[in-house]
Structure 1
């Protein structure tokens, strides 16, 4: 199964790469837009730490690792499934989903990864540089286990983001207009980039860690890498990932059944 879908992913990647080379302007535009967003966010955090030394125990170098972590994740999901998942609502509305359902491949997988965007891959590089810079400044001792744990947490957050994106698009199976939901998602992602999870307390932490777990995305990997996370962070991350993966599978299957019934 893994081998089969790995081959499909590589095929989609090659196909998309050939398209991007033909339309190189689109590639450069995407790179410019993503790069501009990264610079703006970096300047915003720099301005904050001109006036304060720490924010809930994090200094500016913790925040640099946080920004770098978010940037790595942003580059990864923008480069792989973002644009594919983004198209789900439109495919449901215009009936184009019918084409994908008839193919001998998992429908959601095919839609998710058919619009790979290589223009976002270079954004990962400054993210890695920022994490490395913050690591040096904080004097963090690097080990193979620390790097492996960080990568595993990045992968977990990558899956959580995927689940959240798909779940929101599944609303299109039941509702015609979902533009407001898409706008809400953009605001939540931007908010989670501006406000690390360490700043949430009480009901806010419950909401942004368990109900709309955007607060986990870059915070948990940063806490692990800087040595400020305990076993609870692992339990929360894995549990949220499993629950939202199961929920996404359930809602997607029910949505497809509803769509198929309506089509027939």
Structure 2
């Protein structure tokens, strides 16, 4: 419990520092905010254009898709706010030898790297996501219960952990390879596809890849299916298994990378 409390205090400290820093450089803060909002509006325009021509996508109605778009917008805002910029800075620190500074700190190295660059401006993108989720819930006539709210929050947390693990695996490969730009591009394309198209449209080998091997399609689809009452018990087991596997894999690759980094530095 003391360790958890200590890490929560550190997150609070990181948050306060970043807030102060971004308020000093307000132009940068608002630029990032408007970029995030612009990307959201582009996604929304694509969505509206799509449903101008069709009534449903693989059995999903317009408002199920609204809920889906709201969910990925919420997840995108949370991960950009909490850990995106911290995790994506890892390869540069590895290549430039700046990781040594973090290894000497009396705090878990990965924890420090993850949360030191929280982006407060990205948190605002969660607001339109929440509005879309509420709007879709009303139009779908969903009966809101405490279990449904708690289950949805739990799945959001699991998807944030899964996305974090996938990001960490790719960045940790910088310990072993000089260039990982192609993997970054692949990640960007997979996220772009999975955050625009629900996983239910995939079939066969494509579904196996995007649900198990590179499980980006789970991230926004599963919470949406749960809240709209179409998630089976088997999918819960799949989610728990996939998240656990990728957390363990990301930690293993990270630890192997640190050992390699330490050997190269000595």
Cα separation, 2, equivalents of 1:9 and 1:208: 32
Q: Which deviates more from structure 2 when the two are superposed, residues 155-164 or residues 191-200?
A: 191-200
Question: CA shift at 1:185, angstroms?
Answer: 1.2
Task: Give the 4+ runs in structure 1 shifted more than 2 A.
Answer: none
**Which residue of 2 is the match for residue 189 of structure 1?**
191
Question: CA shift at 1:9, angstroms?
Answer: 0.6
Of the three residues 49, 69, 77, the one matched with 2:71 is 69
> Normalising to structure 2: TM-score of the pair?
0.98
Question: CA shift at 1:238, angstroms?
Answer: 1.1
Cα separation, 2, equivalents of 1:183 and 1:29: 24
Instruction: Please show how residues 159-178 of structure 1 align to structure 2 within 5 Å.
Output: 159-178=161-180
Instruction: Please show how residues 24-173 of structure 1 align to structure 2 within 5 Å.
Output: 24-173=26-175
Q: Which deviates more from structure 2 when the two are superposed, residues 193-202 or residues 70-79?
A: 193-202
Alignment partner of 1:203 is 2:205: yes
Of the three residues 238, 250, 260, the one matched with 1:258 is 260
Q: Which deviates more from structure 2 when the two are superposed, residues 64-73 or residues 175-184?
A: 175-184
Q: Give the aligned length.
A: 264
Cα separation, 2, equivalents of 1:238 and 1:248: 15
Alignment partner of 1:228 is 2:226: no
Q: Which secondary structure does the structure 2 equivalent of 1:17 belong to?
A: helix
Cα separation, 2, equivalents of 1:118 and 1:205: 35
Alignment partner of 1:8 is 2:13: no
Question: CA shift at 1:93, angstroms?
Answer: 0.3
Q: Which secondary structure does the structure 1 equivalent of 2:203 belong to?
A: coil
Cα separation, 2, equivalents of 1:17 and 1:35: 19
**What CA deviation, in whole Å up to 9, does each residue of 1:115-139 have, x standing for no partner?**
0100001110110110000011111
**Which residue of 1 is the match for residue 244 of structure 2?**
242
Q: Give the superposed CA RMSD.
A: 0.7
Question: CA shift at 1:107, angstroms?
Answer: 0.5
Cα separation, 2, equivalents of 1:148 and 1:163: 23
> Normalising to structure 1: TM-score of the pair?
0.99
Which sections of structure 1, spanning at least 5 residues, go unmatched?
Answer: none
**What CA deviation, in whole Å up to 9, does each residue of 1:86-126 have, x standing for no partner?**
00000000000011011111101100110010000111011
Question: CA shift at 1:23, angstroms?
Answer: 0.5
